[in-house]
Amino acid sequence: MSPTTTTTAITSAGLTVRRTTPTTTAVKYTISNKPTRRTFGSFLRIGYRTFCALLFLFLLLHRAVPLSTTVPLPLTHYTIHAAQQFTISTSSSVHNSSIDVPLIFAAVFLAVSFLPREYTEESILVLHDFGIQVSSTGKTRLSRTSQFIPLELIQDVVLNEGFRGFSVIYFLAVVVKGRGRLLVVFPNLLPQREILEEIWRDIRSRMHQHPVSLSVGSNTYIE
Partner 1 sequence: MRYNIAMVSDFFYPQPGGIESHIYQLSSKLISLGHSVIIITHAHGSRVGVRYLTHGLKVYYVPFYVLYRESTFPSVFSFFPILRNILIREEIEIVHGHGSLSSLCHEAILHSRTMGLRTVFTDHSLFGFADPGSILGNKMLKFTLSDIGHVICVSHTCKENTVLRASLDPVTVSVIPNAVVASNFRPDPFKASSEYITIIVISRLYPNKGADLLTAVIPNICKIHPTVRFIIAGSGPREIDLEQMREKFQLQERVELVGSIRHEDVRDVMVKGHIYLHPTLTEAFGTVLVEAASCGLLVVTTKVGGIPEVLPSHMTIFSSPSEDSLTQSTLEAIKLIESKAVDTSKFHEQVKGMYGWHDVARRTENVYDIVAKIDNEPVIDRLKRYYGCGIWAGKLFVMCVVIDYLLLRFLEWLYPESGIDRVRKWPRRPIDKPLLAGENSESAKIESEDEDSGLGGTTAMP
Query: Nearest approach, Cβ of 165 to partner 1 (angstroms)?
Result: 8
Please state, in angstroms and rounded to a whole number, the distance separating the CA atoms of residues 49 and 37.
18
Comparison of 12 and 85: residue with beta carbon closer to partner 1: 12
Residue ranges in the chain assigned as alpha helix (H): 40-64, 76-86, 101-114, 193-208
Cα distance between residue 218 and residue 223, in whole Å? 15
Q: Min. distance of Cβ 19 from partner 1 in angstroms?
A: 20
Helix (H) or strand (E) holding 169: strand 167-176
Question: Given the rule CB under 8 A, which residues bind partner 1?
Answer: 12-13, 160-163, 166-170, 192-193, 197, 204
Residue 106 or residue 190: which is nearer to partner 1 going by CB? 190
Residue 178 to residues 174, 181, 215, Cα–Cα distance (Å)? 12, 9, 36
Q: Which residue, 83 or 173, has its beta carbon nearer to partner 1?
A: 173
Nearest distance in Å: CB 36, partner 1? 20
Pick the closer one to partner 1 by CB: 19 or 204: 204
Q: How far is the CB of 167 from partner 1 (least distance, A)?
A: 4
CB 42 within 8 Å of CB 58: no
